[in-house]
Amino acid sequence: MHSDIQITRAASVDSALQQNRVLRNTYMLLGLSMVPTVLGALMGVQMQFSFFAGSPLISFLLFLGIAFGFFWGIERTKNSGWGVALLLGFTFFMGLMLSRILQVALGFSNGGSLIAMAAGGTGALFFVLSTVAATTRRDFSGLGKFLFAGMIVILLAALANAFFQVPAVSLAISAAAVLIFSAYILYDINNIVRGGETNYITATLAVYLDIYNVFVSLLNLLMAFSGERD
């Protein structure tokens, strides 16, 4: 009986150490992933890069194809160094994609402030939500199906709006995306802490997408309500 208790305690300690290791590695790789994102964004702004210059609908579908290609590759190589390389390649690509909205923001007289506010707001949200997710005893796994359904609705709405280009719909999508992906931060970090995700590469990809979508959505909202033209 005593030996069984010791084995159970040892297993619990090993599990906790593993979860802490995954979370620590996720945060480290997440920080590293911001480097190619910033480089891609700066390069895109300098080159006036615009992935959606042609047909918005076709460009959106092409973007999804490239993104899901990266997802497939990262999943296949998540247990090797190639997984890290593909993840960093994906974040560079997402930085290029980010450059278009940054160009639009910089067209406002207060564009730099809007970008800084969006980045600061995203950072604050991530700090608060990730702290709550990592320290609370509450299990947020029940949010998974609801959040996935919400993400699908946002994706379909964005796909439709790529064709119709309705500003009010775009703002509604951005507001919903801030809520959904903020909740995803809670869900994904809590999933790591509770041992639901044991691979730091796929964990980093999930959290990176949460942060990216919150930032883009916040910037869209700030431009709509606080943007100042010369």
Q: Tens digits of per-residue pLDDT, 21-67?
A: 889 999 999 999 999 999 999 999 998 877 666 666 677 778 889 99
pLDDT of 12: 46
Assess contact for 190 and 140: CB atoms under 8 A: yes
Structural element, H or E, at residue 109: none
HSE-up of residue 172 (Cα within 13 Å, Cβ side): 12
Higher-confidence residue of 32 and 6: namely: 32
pLDDT of 13: 45
Helix extents (H) in the chain: 2-47, 56-76, 81-106, 111-135, 144-164, 167-193, 200-226
Number of domain units in the chain: 1
Q: Tens digits of per-residue pLDDT, 141-176?
A: 888 899 999 999 998 888 887 777 778 888 999 999
Higher-confidence residue of 6 and 129: namely: 129
- Averaged pLDDT of the chain: 87
Assess contact for 115 and 219: CB atoms under 8 A: yes
Find the domain containing 45 and state its range. Answer: 2-226
Q: Tens digits of per-residue pLDDT, 83-114?
A: 999 999 999 999 999 998 999 999 888 889 99
pLDDT of 51: 67
Q: Tens digits of per-residue pLDDT, 53-65?
A: 666 667 777 888 9
The answer for residues whose C-beta is within 8 angstroms of residue 76's C-beta and 6 or more apart is none
